[in-house]
Amino acid sequence: MVFPWLSRLLVPALAATSLVSATATLPYAEPRSPNSTGKTCVVEPSPKRCRRDDVPRILEAFRECNHGGTVVFPEGKEYYIAQRLNPTLYDVTIEWRGTWLFSDDLDYWRNNSYPIAFQNHAAGFVITGDRIHIDGHGTGGINGSGNTWYTAEAGATQPGRPMPMVLWNVSDVKIEHCKPLPSGTVRLHVTYLLNRGDHLQVSIVQPPLWSLNIMNGTDIWVDDLYVNATALDAPYGKNWVQNTDGFDTMDARNVMLTNFVYQVATMPSLSSLGPTTSIARMQITVHGGNGIAIGSLGQYKEDSSVANVVVKDVQILTNNKDMHNMAYIKTWTGEEVMQKGYESGSQPRGGGWGEVKNILFENFYVDGSASGPSINQDSGANSTTKGTSNMLISNVAWVNITGEIIAKTANRTAAVSCSQRRPCYDIEMREISLKPSADAPAMGANGECFYVAPGGIHGMTGEGCE
């Protein structure tokens, strides 16, 4: 089965330009449902008064009900996750009505989490398999005990933080209907929720690292997902929640994310880290964080291409006035450059290659980010490697972007800095109406453009753009 409405998304937006997008006929496939044998496994947690690791019980249920069964975590029950787990599931339905609580044993997780080579990260819970359906029924979710990590590291992120949920080597996965927003959760600018109704959900709170990461995944639909990463002990204005991305895709194809709410101090809410193709993200609210990113790409010497991405109907709302970006594309320098920090292993990074094409950002309301639409192809660069990216960007459109930003430079509402080696082209800014500051009138896309092919940008004014 396909989602026919997706095949029409780019046609109205780009038909009047020279842009021709392959995403106009994307074959988004709805995940296949698990086959069912009718068998059910109900998992009961250990009593809270003598809390014990519930992972053995959980793994036993997954083994017992694999290949056609249903695993149930009852509503109101809390499961203590004190060790890593990587079940391989085929044709399994998970009635995730209860809550998983990760232990706060930092030493255990630092030394025992599953290693992820990309940026020297780690994972605590990994699902592998095919035809998996997770239904939270409005009550289920994960608590990653992230505040313990945020407080212990106080903004100086160290290796070993575990991602609380990774889909790795999976196909035909659907995740939906997790826990509703807790009482007291901030809901700002409700009038801008795009008539979605009051059905926002919670899935992952206090993630130690990236919240939900899809690696080597095909035909996946995540609906009604809420992520909250809040450092309860951080001084005002201090960022203690680095790398708590809300939703990431790597080596993924045919992925849909709908009805997503992300609330955090900083870091990208959604990232496509490549190689990735055919991604749709719709009805998104980002409160805090660093906007929606395609990238960063090209950090490693490999093909990092991303193609056919639609991001539509989005709110971007600042938190503590620390949001740097709105919706942006970023790639690494084309030459290897020595880097600092554990994410690069203190090794030279950059030099990757590929294409970023057929990308649509449409219907955004922005309140308080430091920039509007942007492209930057100089991640990791030094003074001699700027403009050397090996990633070619083309056929990208920002359409119907409204609201207010806090521009660092007067009257600058957009920025495009591409690659001298591979100048970008067919970049479209249409129906842009952004106030560069609270007391300024709304204006279109205006800024500076670097390394753009002749005639390669449309709808943007400023030096190098026309």
For residue 170 the two structure tokens come to 């999976």
**In sequence order, what are the residues at sequence separation of 6 or more whose Cβ sits closer than 8 angstroms to the Cβ of residue 396?**
329, 356, 357, 358, 359, 360, 375, 424, 426, 427, 428
Question: Stretch 130-135: mean pLDDT, rounded?
Answer: 97
- Nearest-angstrom CA–CA distance, 151 and 240: 7
Model confidence at 18, pLDDT cuts 50, 70, 90, reads very low
Between CA 115 and CA 86 the distance in angstroms is: 12
Identify which has the larger pLDDT, 30 or 171: 171
Q: Which amino acid is at 254?
A: N
3-class DSSP state for residue 209?
coil
At 270, which helix (H) or strand (E)?
strand 270-272
Task: State the number of CA atoms in the 13 A half-sphere of 93 facing the CB.
Answer: 15
pLDDT at 227 over 60: yes
- The amino acid occupying position 123 is A
The arithmetic mean of pLDDT across residues 7-36, rounded, is 54
Supply φ then ψ for residue 297, to 5 degrees.
-120, 150
CA-wise closest residue to 379 among 427, 316, 428, 325:
325
For the whole model, what pTM was predicted?
A: 0.89
* HEC readout, 7-38: HHCHHHHHCCCCCCCHHHHCCCECCCCCCCCC
CA 425 – CA 122 distance, rounded (Å): 37
pLDDT (mean) for 418-445: 96
**Residue from 158, 162, 156 nearest 239 by CA:** 156
* Phi, psi angle pair for 451, to nearest 5°: 55, 50
Task: Give residue-wise pLDDT tens across range 259-287.
Answer: 998 887 544 556 777 677 888 888 888 88
Band of residue 19 on the pLDDT scale cut at 50, 70, 90: very low
The H or E element containing residue 452 is none
pLDDT score recorded for residue 320: 66
Peptide bond into 296 cis (omega under 30): yes
Higher-confidence position of 237 and 157: 157
pLDDT digits (tens, 9 = 90+) for 360-373: 999 999 998 889 99
Q: Could you tell me which of 291, 292, 295 has the C-alpha nearest to residue 275?
A: 295
Q: Percent of the chain scored above 90 by pLDDT?
A: 62
Residue 274: predicted pLDDT: 67
Query: In the structure, what pLDDT confidence band is assigned to residue 92 with cuts at 50, 70 and 90?
Result: very high
- Tell me which residue of 214, 189, 250 sits closest to 127, measured CA to CA: 214
pLDDT tens figures, 304-361 = 999 999 999 999 988 767 678 899 999 999 999 988 877 777 788 999 999 999 999 9
What distance in Å separates the CA atoms of residue 176 and residue 166, rounded to the nearest whole number?
Answer: 16
- Give the per-residue pLDDT at 323: 79
pLDDT at 197 over 90: no
Q: What is the mean pLDDT of residues 17-25?
A: 37
pLDDT digits (tens, 9 = 90+) for 349-360: 999 999 999 999
Residue 12 has pLDDT above 70, yes or no: no
Q: Is the pLDDT of residue 194 over 70?
A: no
Average pLDDT over residues 291-295: 90
Backbone phi, psi, residue 350, to 5°: 110, 175
Instruction: Decide: 448 and 407 in contact? Cβ < 8 Å.
Output: no
pLDDT at 28: 60
The pLDDT, as a whole number, for residue 179 is 52
Spatial distance between the Cα atoms of 359 and 284, rounded to a whole number of angstroms = 16
DSSP element (H, E) containing 348: strand 348-349
Is 93's pLDDT higher than 50? yes
Least confident piece of the model among 91-105, 142-156, 172-186, 188-202: 188-202
> What single-letter amino acid sits at 142?
I
Tell me what pLDDT residue 183 has.
Answer: 37
C-alpha distance from residue 72 to each of 101, 385, 419 (Å): 16, 54, 51
Average pLDDT over the chain, rounded to an integer: 85
In the predicted structure, residue 1 carries a pLDDT above the cut 50 = no
Is pLDDT of 154 > 60?
A: yes
Q: What is the dihedral of CA 450, 454, 456, 460, to 10 degrees?
A: 60
Q: Does the structure show a pLDDT above 50 at 201?
A: no
CA 18-21-25 angle, to 5 degrees, is 140
Q: What percent of the chain has pLDDT over 70?
A: 86
Distance CA 343, CA 300 (A): 12
The answer to whether the CB of 226 falls within 8 A of the CB of 251 is: no
CATH level 3 topology of 4-461: Pectate Lyase C-like (2.160.20)
Residue 67 has pLDDT above 80, yes or no: yes
Residue 115 gets the label, from left (phi > 0), alpha (psi -120 to 50) or beta, of beta
Give 10's pLDDT tier (boundaries 50, 70, 90). Answer: very low
Confidence of residue 383 (pLDDT cuts 50, 70, 90): confident
